[in-house]
Chains A and B, each alone.
Chain A
Amino acid sequence: MSILLIQKNNNKNSNAFGSKFNQFTLKMRSLTFSVFTMVVLSSCANAGNSGDSQLTDANIAAIVVGANNIDISAGKIALARSSNPEVRKFAQTMITDHTAVLNSAVALVTRLGVTPVNNELVAVLSKQSSEHEAVLKTLSGAEFDKAYIDHEVAYHKAVIGVIENQLIPGASNKELKDTLISVLPAFIAHLKHCEMIQSNL
Chain B
Amino acid sequence: MFAKIKQVKTSNPRTLGLLVFVASLFYFIDVRSIENDSHNYNDVPDIKIHRILISSFEFKPEVIEVNVGDKVVWINKDFAPHNISKNIDKTSSNKGKTETSPNLMETEKFELIIKQGFDYYCGLHPSMTGKIVIRNNN
Contacts and interface: CB of A to CB of B under 8 A. Distances in A.
B97 interface: no
Contacts of B79: 100-101, 104, 182-183, 186
Given A97-B80, A100-B79, A188 B57 contact: yes
The contact size tier of chain A is: 10 to 19
Interface in B72-126: 78-81, 123-126
Contacts, number: 35
A186 B125 CA distance: 9
Interface in A154-197: 182-183, 185-186, 188-190, 192-193, 196
A96 B80 contact: yes
Nearest to B127: A192
A197 B80 CA distance: 20
B58 interface: yes
A193 B80 contact: no
A180 to B, nearest CB: 13
B56 interface: yes
A9 interface: no
Contacts of B123: 89
Contacts of A190: 125
Interface of B: 56-58, 78-81, 123-128
